[in-house]
Every structure is written in C-alpha cells, then in structure tokens.
Amino acid sequence: MPQTRLYILPMAHIENDLAWNVAAARVGSVDNPHPPAEWVSVPCFAYLIEHPSAGRVLLDVGPHPDDKERLPADVRRYFPWMGGPGDTLEARLAGLGLKPADIDLVIVSHMHWDHCGGLYLFANEAAGKQIMVGRRDFEYGLLSTHKEAGQPFGGGGYFKENFEIPGLSFEPIDPEMGDYSLAPGLQLIQLGGHTPQVLGLMLHLEHTGTVILPSDAIYMSRNFGPPPVAPGIVYDSLGFFQSVQKVRQMQKATNAWIIYPHDPEQERQLKLAPAYYD
C-alpha cells in the first residue's frame, strides 16, 4: 500500500420521503395547501480506506442482505431498502479481490441498520475483535432494542439482531476522547445530532486532498447549506447544528471535500468502487 486510497462502496438505495432527510422539504401555502410528498431514492455507502500503516479500514458495513424481509413492516413501508445480492458488503469486497479476513479495522459510525447490518461478516475475524463504536450511540441503541422482551426493533433505526452477533467484540469510544489520530493522515472525528454519537473520519489523500466523511451527522449537501437545514430525523437538533459548524470549520481549515452518506445528487458525481480516490 504505497499511499492512502479511498474506495466508496455502494450499498444500493433506500427509498423514502425527502422530508425525513430535509425537514419541511415541501411546505404548504395558501395557494398550495397540500403539496405532494417528494419520494426519493437515497444511496447507502460503506467506505474502505487502504492506509500504509493502518492497513484496510472500513467505515460502516451497509445493511444486512436479509433486511428487505427481516426489518419490521413499518420500517419497510417507509424506508424500503432496494438492494440485491450484488449490493452487499461481501459482494463489494469481492469485487476488489478482498474478503472480510483482509480487513484490519472496522468502524461503525452509528448502529442504525443501514450502517451496521454487515457486521456478521466479521464474526470470529481479527477485525471483529475490536469494532469501534460510539459509546453513547451503542448504549442508546442497546437500550432501545432490549428494554422490552421480544422487541426486535428500537425507535430510530436500531435493530436488535445487530447487537447480538456471536464472535464479535466492540470497542466503545467515549465522546470525551474527542477527535484523535488513528494513523498519519487518518483522523477519527466525533459528531452528534443524528444519534447521541456519530463517528466520522477525516483523511488526507495525496492527489485528492483532504476528505471528510461525516456519516449521517450530515445527510446531504442540502443539510450542510449554507444555511444549514435540519433533517426530519434527528435525535438532537442542537447537536446537528453544532456538527455542521464543526465540519464547516474543519472544511475551511483544510480545504476539505465532504462526501455525504445519503445524497443522490452528489452520488452521480462520485467515483464508486472499484475506482478509488488517492
């Protein structure tokens, strides 16, 4: 690995009302009191970083291949995942000639089903022994899914089975640790708003420059602004605006490019794996 590379791994799309991503996306008025909803198809991604000293690092692992059927009916009604057999993490890694055993570190930005469903692939693998998660997000999701016996799903996108995979061990990251370097040119960043704690990355590439991966702390460019526009799904609205301010300051300081996790407009401009950024 002579230099750092970033692969964007497409995990198909989720369909939903845009109002979940951008609050009040279509507002009624006197002359148009009942505007129609805007149904959109938003991308899902995992990110593979090949780093000279950190090895192969994954940020997020996409949905579980069975999520079309195993998610509760209400979730499938409002947020159907449109993926197929080729849209899984296993298939995307195979397209790069890799297997789960080739991954050195897994970071889960937050434990929502569309970001952590592929964790089962790392059961009993080396990377599965130290999966990095945000402590507050993990604890919140665990409580949401386990507070009542027989409840498989927790409000806000958490799915019980994703917390109960034999052969995995988690390394909770305290928010008090703040941002810190994982390796030269690779920094873990801590954000909030979308859930109690979101883990993102900032990486420096030789030709592309600095890239920020904020995960769902900032869904799409319409949320980032300026001015910033809150999403319709948010755990902490003040935390969302604080995250936008933080990322904006980081962007200005480093002339960074932000890759949004669910932006259909930006998706059309991205190089997707097997292509890469370096």
Q: State the Cα–Cα distance between residues 160 and 109, nearest whole angstrom.
A: 17
Q: Dump pLDDT digits (tens) for 185-216.
A: 999 999 999 999 999 999 999 999 999 999 99
Q: What is the DSSP letter of 256?
A: P
Give the pLDDT score at 151.
67
Q: Are 170 and 133 in contact (CB under 8 A)?
A: yes
Residue 147 pLDDT > 90 = no
Q: What is the DSSP letter of 261?
A: S
- Structure tokens, 34: 């009942």
Q: Looking at the whole model, is its pTM more than 0.75?
A: yes
Give the pLDDT score at 149.
66
Domains in the chain, start-ordered, CATH in brackets? 5-26+33-184 (3.60.15.10)
A 10 A CB-CB count for 14 gives: 23
Q: Dump pLDDT digits (tens) for 32-91.
A: 999 999 999 999 999 999 999 999 999 999 999 999 888 888 899 999 999 988 999 999
Higher pLDDT, 74 or 226: 226
Q: State the Cα–Cα distance between residues 269 and 81, nearest whole angstrom.
A: 22
Residue 174 pLDDT > 80 = yes
- Structure tokens, 213: 């991966």
DSSP letters, 33-69, are SSPPP-EEEEEEEEEEEEETTTEEEEE-----TTHHH
Pairing of strands 198-205, 186-191: antiparallel
Give the pLDDT score at 207.
97
